[in-house]
Structures are given as C-alpha cells and as structure tokens.
Structure 1
Amino acid sequence: MRADRVFAYGAAAGLLGDLLLGDPRRGHPVAAFGRAAGAVEHVLYRDHRGRGALHTLVCAGGAVALGAAASRVVRSSPAASVALTAAATWAV
C-alpha cells in the first residue's frame, strides 16, 4: 500500500476513533507526556537558559525519538502503520 494511502486511512481511523471514543478520563497519552515533562522539569530546572534548552531537547527529542522508533518498527506492515497513524491521530 502506498504511503499516502496508509496516512489517509490511519488519519481517518484516528478521527473516527476520536469522534466515537473521545478522550479517556484516565490515561490519556498527552496527559502522560505532561506528567513526564513535569518530572523532567523538576529534575532539570534551574533559572538558566541552557537548562531550559536542555529540558526542551529532552522532552521534544524524546517524543520525536519514540515516534521515529515506532514508525520504524511498523514500517514493513501496512496494517500496523495504519494502526500507528490512527493511534497518533487519536492522541493528538
């Protein structure tokens, strides 16, 4: 299956999932990211520009690395790629 179709099917499935399921009261992935970013901030915070840049790098870089790793894992399976795109679309 072509990459554009994988994205289209996954995005449509994620939107449909969001419309049908909405946001969970507990365990939402964005809320989990917020808690993790808060924990990282608690460890790294200093009133210094470099520490703020490090916090941004750790949080944003970690999210990008997780997405890239997940994408690499499902690359060989169109169905898994659609499911990953749907999950990411639903989460955001």
Structure 2
Amino acid sequence: MRGDRVFAYGAAVGLAADLLLADPRRGHPVAAFGRTAARVERALWRDDRAWGALHAAVCAGGAAGAAALAARAVR
C-alpha cells in the first residue's frame, strides 16, 4: 500500500473516531502531559540552561518513548 493511501485511511479513521468519541471530559492525553511536565519542572527547575535542557529532554524523550511503545504495540 502506498504511503499516501495509508495517510488518507488513517486520517479518515481518525476523523471518524473524533466525531464518534469526541474529547474525553477526564483524562485527556494533552492535559496529562501538561500535568506531568509541570511535576518534572518542579523537580528539576534550576536557574540554569543545562537544567532547562534536561527538562526538555525528559519531557520530549518521554513523549517520544511513549509513542514508540504505542507504535510497537499496534504492529
């Protein structure tokens, strides 16, 4: 299957799921990420560029790692 068809099918399924399920009232993934990032920031915050880079790496790396695990789980 060509990549553009895969994208089109995925976009159609995503749109249908969004129309049917809508956003959850509780436990929205973006809100959960924000709460987690705030906790990490409280634990790691220092007035230093290296600590800020560590915070960004932990948050972005955690999100990328979760996405990689999810992608592997659906294969």
TM-score category by the smaller chain?
0.7 to 0.9
Looking at structure 1, the residues matched to 60 and 8 of structure 2 have their Cα atoms a distance apart, in angstroms, of 25
In structure 1, the residue matched to 2:18 is 18
Q: Which consecutive unaligned segments of at least 5 residues does structure 2 have?
A: none
Query: 1:14-52: CA deviations, max 9, x gaps?
Result: 122223332222110110011111111110011111111
Deviation at 1:3, TM superposition (A): 6.6
Letter in 2 for 1:27: G
- The 1:3–1:37 alpha-carbon spacing in structure 2 relative to 1, beyond 3 Å, is farther
CA RMSD, Structure 1 to Structure 2 (Å): 1.7
Structure 1 residue 12 displacement after superposition:
1.5
The equivalent of 2:62 in structure 1 is: 62
Higher relative contact order (CA 8 A, sep 6+): 1
Aligned to 1:43: 43
| Cα separation, 1, equivalents of 2:26 and 2:2 | 33
Matched AA of 1:67:
A
Q: Residue 46 of structure 2: SS of its match in structure 1?
A: coil
Aligned length: 74
Under a length normalisation based on structure 2, what TM-score does the superposition of the two structures give? 0.82
Higher radius of gyration, 1 or 2: 2
In structure 1, runs of 5+ residues without a counterpart are 76-92
